[in-house]
Amino acid sequence: MRTRTLGSQALEVSALGLGCMGMSQSFGPRPPRDEMITFLRAAVDRGVTLFDTAEVYGPFHNEELVGEALAPVRDEVVIATKFGFAFDPDGHQTGVSSRPDDIRGAVEGSLSRLGIDTIDLLYQHRVDPGVPIEDVAGTVKELIEAGKVRHFGMSEAGVDNIRRAHAVQPVTALQSEYSLYWREPEDQILPVLAELGIGFVPFSPLGRGVLTGQVTAGTEFGEGDIRAHLPRFEADALRANLALVDLVQKVAERKGVTVGQVALAWLLAQQPWIVPIPGTRRITGLEENLGAAEVELGPDDLAELDSASRSVQVLGDRYPEAMQRMIDR
């Protein structure tokens, strides 16, 4: 597996990371823990070094899973986790919170669940409009100075907050959705990241499965699958959105690879500091995704994909209204 460097803070990771959320929530029943531990260790064996988790995934279950699985190879991997949500006494997520005391408490909890001494990359999961971003960045700076965190990241943050946070504590990476299916970050976010020397970690780089070519207009999303409640996956919207897959398929067939590999290779071709984190729970899916790092797209391929992406208007919001309001733009 080739490596890439995130930001001017020089965090070296595998060219493709692994999003771990689906091992605990959002995509149907939770798989057996022992199977996921085996899977995570298999990812390490195949060269993956960046593993993405968060306290809210589960909640809490995902960090425990990732920590246990990666304990034998702790020095070989980069573990990224996130703070920024509030929880009630029963562990249910109740909203955002990035108050300094809550950040410190979240970090202590994450360190304990992960079984590590230092978090390699700590993201603010969502911007908290009730807390000045300077206070957030300053708190993370203190945690870095204390040796509990190595790198500061932000997730779904807008330009103003990125700039203000970076002035207090350099931001190593921003995490937001980005793919052939969703190109909003190109307008304002990517130019600022290039200017400031911040790496970019796209989540949902396969459009929550749409760009794998395995989702059809007739696909039914079962109990516990978040896609059953996302506007983009409503019947009419999904039918229209799948037109993009048909166009990407033409490039995939010409290259002798899969639609998903083309989609990931396109992302990798955008900037050398972009590191996608596709999620999967299957070895076959993992190996397919990692194979994208070897797919070479020439100028004509990239121009065709760019044209295809711009010709299809993606219908439906990314999230239901309440979740959409948590995105800082």
> What SS3 state is found at 308?
helix
Task: Report the C-alpha gap between 264 and 180 in whole angstroms.
Answer: 9
User: Exposure of 201 by Cβ count < 10 A (0-12 exposed, 13-18 middle, 19+ buried)?
Assistant: buried
78-83 sheet: strands from edge to edge: 18-19, 50-52, 78-83, 119-124, 149-155, 171-177, 199-203
Q: Which two tokens stand for residue 66?
A: 């990732």
Catalytic annotation present for 123: no
Residue 216 and residue 241 in contact, taking contact as beta carbons nearer than 8 Å: no
User: Exposure of 8 by Cβ count < 10 A (0-12 exposed, 13-18 middle, 19+ buried)?
Assistant: middle
Which residues partner with 11 through β-bridges? Answer: 6
Q: Which of 57, 123, 178, 181 is catalytic?
A: 57
Residues in the chain, overall count: 329
String of b and e for 161-188 (b: at least 16 CB within 10 Å)? Answer: bbeebbebbbbbbbbbbbbbbbbebeee
> What SS3 state is found at 203?
strand
For residue 221, give the nearest of 230, 36, 91, 120 by alpha carbon: 230
Report which DSSP code applies to 192.
H
User: Exposure of 136 by Cβ count < 10 A (0-12 exposed, 13-18 middle, 19+ buried)?
Assistant: buried
Q: Phi first, then psi: what are they for 172, rounded to 5°? A: -80, -40
Q: Which two tokens stand for residue 147?
A: 């040796």
Point out the residues that are catalytic.
57
